[in-house]
Amino acid sequence: MRAAELADRVRAAYPDVVVARDEVTVIVDRSDLLEALTGLRDEPALGLDFLSSVTATDWPGRSPRFWVAYELYSMTHGYRLRLKVGLEEGDPRIPSVTPLHPTADWHERETYDFYGIVFDGHPALTRILLPDDWEGYPLRKTEDLGGVNTRYRGAFIPPVDKRTT
Amino acid sequence: MPVERLGGLHLGRGEDNALEEEVRRGILLSTLDRGVRWARKQSMWPVTFGLACCAIEMMATGAGDYDLARWGMELFRASPRQADLMIVAGRVSQKMVPVLRTVYDQMPEPKWVISMGVCASAGGMFTNYAVVQGVDTIVPVDIYVPGCPPKPEMLMYGILRLHEKVRTEGQFK
Amino acid sequence: MSATDTSSSFDPTDASPSEHLRQETMIVNMGPQHPSTHGVLRLLLELDGETVVSCRPIVGYLHTGIEKNCEYRTWQQGVTFVTRADYLSPFFNELAYCLAVERLLGTEAPPRAQVIRVMVCEMNRIASHLVWLATSGLELGAVSVMLYGFREREMLLDIFEAVTGLRMNHSYIRIGGVVMDLPPGAEDDVRGFLATMPGRIKEYEDLLVQNPIWIERNRGVGVLSVEDALARGVTGPALRAAGVGRDVRRDEPYCGYETYKFDVITRTEADCYARFEVRLEEMKQSLRIIEQCLERLREPGPVMVEDPKVRWPAQLEVGPDGIGNSERYIKHIMEESMEALIHHFKMVTEGVQVPPGEVFQVVESPRGELGFYVVSDGEHRPYRLRIRDPSFVNLQAVPGMVEGGLVADVIAVIASLDPVMGGVDR
């Protein structure tokens, strides 16, 4: 199976590997991120040179709170790999990977916009999808969904996250 | 928030008021008034304000199969200064609000607004931080066309109701 | 526009007046409300005369908060949200989402459902390329192409309406399969479409392929080299026009694509004209795939998994007022079986329970590689849903393609990239 084979090749350099549902996930520390990405790209047997997506997930109450996930693909071999980095709540900073993968530019801006994770070394880290003067980071689990009550046939129905039924 | 109620199919309702108006203002002015109102509804040019999925249905309404040219409306003006109808087609996000208001303000009088689709009319399925819950909080709306997205026939019905409204309720300014 | 320096140092007899002319660049907003930017895209252009010195795309004018909204809705309701992200290819959004959730669940849709999924997706690809052709033609001045493109699209939308009930944003592909089987007569409609479409594509070719104005406006314009494209993460027809034969349907097949015969179209010139050719050819390849689907649809079969914890509980059929629960099913839950009623209630209100985990599922949408990153924590709702939209990534390549060219070429470049702002902003 390709996922297991890929996991074995990767495990030598990066021991924290999880294989699930035919996918390989490698977990590294924030300080090893750029080195890991360079290594995964330059290793001829792996050749993971295409970054599909950069995103984050918020797990409030857990440590680390934010998990940033990088989806890599190899154009030559056709492998997929996910690289994850955990960030603590009080310190949501991570080096930007734009020097290696310029495509991460807008992905990182979106992650900053939604979660407030600061990417050090990003050329222009500003809000991208929300208005420039928006306050707050809406996709964090601690933020509300927003929206107003809907008036329908005399009743006021709150937005989804406020409904008690 | 102000809601314009059209009522049922009382298309003749405007005619009763029109008769009184005529008697009060004299026959000459009211005939001119009727002529002006007829002219306004005959060739109402929309401004291109298609935002999301409803914009595609609006384009389909303007294309060959459901032809808007039969009412003289196939010419979507890019410049709001040359348009008299704004069809807000699609979900309006918070970032788009100042743009929407600016384009509306740039349109010369008389102007009308059709809110196409549920997202423009009431926020649609997106009751959240990002979508404005109804454009009638920003611009005054004349006709609401529900649907997600409304079929071209529904949009045409809304446009025809607007034409009726313009023909029967306008006032000479 | 340059500002002429009218101070006293200006000498009309001077042979080289340009030294006295103060050149300033002009910053122009190709604003969110524009007839030619394919939606609410804002481009901040710095112009020196007609030449673009720098270009900055600003997006976010259609941000809808779909990702956050899905976290508060059940898994099945997610289909209706996700389908409106990239609104020109709704089936692809639904397909990627449902494939991701099915991977998390560990199930697979039955074979007939897979064939129907492939068929509607390929029809959607043709419909999306038709809108691209229509709007590109309109923006570059070929207004009749707009009318032709929408005429063919209406044929497809009629088929979609017969099959799914809606012309756009269908919510037809559900977790575990598709919501209903094809109605009688749908296959004949598709066959009729397959018979007329090649002739119509030939009409477009006759109109545009050797049209000197079309060639003049598209050839050599907006060149995106392979290195730039890969560095920027561009996928889809833009990457294939640069020479890289990357197609998710062939490289990471899903829904049985490995069993269909189709070609991956590439060109090497990497300009707008090459992208135009790639998309035209892709329409023909999609017709080929649809024909193969029709062959496979001869055998009947279920269109939804049997597992009662996953499948939509009701047997839906077309009634007097649209699609709804069948009479027999209502009789069963209301009169015959209490457990069935409770099960129906739980499945509809709470929905599927998906085991914890995360998955990244890609499909080949008409614009490129559409990826869904779905995280579940074992609940009845998604924990995190990220849509890796191809238009979002492709737009990053616009400054590189446009800077140094003319303003009019900006329109051609954006049209050839075919971004859909619903996917960019979600």
The answer to whether B95 faces chain A, any CB pair under 8 Å, is: yes
Mutation site for B-interface testing, chosen from A143, A150, A153, A156 by largest number of B Cβ within 10 Å: A150
pLDDT for position C18: 55
CB–CB of B125 and C168 under 8 A? no
From chain B, the residues in CB contact with A147 under 8 A are 123, 126-129, 131, 133
pLDDT over 90 at C403, yes or no: no
What are the boundaries of each domain within chain C? 66-310+352-425
CA distance C249 to C207: 30
Token pair belonging to C76: 């099945």
- Per-residue model confidence as pLDDT tens digits over C73-132: 899 888 999 999 999 999 999 999 999 999 999 888 999 999 999 999 999 999 999 999
Mutation site for A-interface testing, chosen from B127, B137, B138 by largest number of A Cβ within 10 Å: B127
* pLDDT band with cut points at 50, 70 and 90 for residue B7: very low
What pTM value is reported for the model? 0.89
CA distance C173 to B167: 45
* The residue type at A131: P
pLDDT for position C15: 54
CB–CB of A49 and C252 under 8 A? no
Choose between B17 and B29: higher pLDDT. B29
Q: What percent of chain C has pLDDT over 70?
A: 93
End-to-end alpha-carbon separation of chain A, Å?
46
pLDDT for position C3: 43
pLDDT for position B17: 62
- Per-residue model confidence as pLDDT tens digits over A51-103: 999 999 999 888 889 999 999 998 888 888 999 999 988 888 999 999 999 99
- Per-residue model confidence as pLDDT tens digits over C23-65: 788 888 888 878 766 788 899 999 888 889 899 999 999 999 8
Question: How much is the ipTM here?
Answer: 0.91
CA distance A24 to A4: 8
The answer to whether C5 faces chain A, any CB pair under 8 Å, is: no
Q: Which chains touch B (3 or more CB pairs under 8 A)?
A: A, C
CB–CB of B64 and C151 under 8 A? yes
Q: What percent of chain B has pLDDT over 70?
A: 82
Token pair belonging to C191: 């066959």
Q: Domains, chain B, ranges and CATH? A: 45-169 (3.40.50.12280)
Mutation site for A-interface testing, chosen from C393, C395, C421, C424 by largest number of A Cβ within 10 Å: C393
CB–CB of A71 and C373 under 8 A? yes
Nearest residue on chain C to B65, judged by CA atoms?
C151
CB–CB of A145 and B129 under 8 A? yes
- Per-residue model confidence as pLDDT tens digits over A125-148: 999 999 888 888 998 888 888 878
The answer to whether C369 faces chain A, any CB pair under 8 Å, is: yes
pLDDT over 50 at B34, yes or no: yes
Q: Are A48 and A74 in contact (CB under 8 A)?
A: yes
pLDDT for position C11: 59
pLDDT over 50 at C137, yes or no: yes
The CA distance from C235 to the nearest CA of chain A, in Å, is 10
pLDDT for position B13: 46
- Per-residue model confidence as pLDDT tens digits over C221-248: 889 889 888 888 899 999 999 988 889 9
Q: Tokens 């991120």 belong to which residue? A: A33
pLDDT for position B170: 52
CA distance A136 to B155: 38
CB–CB of A161 and C396 under 8 A? no
Identify which of B48, B64, B125 has the shortest CB distance to residue C35: B48
CB–CB of B60 and C81 under 8 A? no
Average pLDDT, chain C: 87
The CA distance from C369 to the nearest CA of chain A, in Å, is 9
CB–CB of A147 and B129 under 8 A? yes
The answer to whether C67 faces chain A, any CB pair under 8 Å, is: yes
Token pair belonging to C338: 């209490």
CB–CB of C147 and B99 under 8 A? no
* pLDDT band with cut points at 50, 70 and 90 for residue C304: confident
Mutation site for A-interface testing, chosen from B121, B128, B135 by largest number of A Cβ within 10 Å: B128
CA distance C280 to C237: 10
CB–CB of C72 and A160 under 8 A? yes
Nearest residue on chain C to A69, judged by CA atoms?
C373
From chain B, the residues in CB contact with A159 under 8 A are 127-128
Token pair belonging to C125: 């690809």
User: What is A19-45 written as a DSSP string?
Assistant: EETTEEEEEE-GGGHHHHHHHHHH-TT
Choose between C140 and C4: higher pLDDT. C140
CA distance A143 to A136: 8
pLDDT for position A53: 92
* pLDDT band with cut points at 50, 70 and 90 for residue C12: low
Residues of chain B with a CB closer than 8 angstroms to some CB in chain C: 47-53, 55-57, 59-60, 63-65, 76, 78, 80, 90-91, 93-96, 99, 103, 125-126, 128-131, 148-149, 151
CA distance B95 to C58: 11
Return the CATH number of the domain spanning residue range C66-310+352-425.
1.10.645.10
- Closest Cα partner for C180 from C347, C343, C323? C323
The answer to whether C252 faces chain A, any CB pair under 8 Å, is: yes
pLDDT for position C165: 85
CB–CB of A21 and C369 under 8 A? no
Q: Domains, chain A, ranges and CATH? A: 2-134 (3.30.460.80)
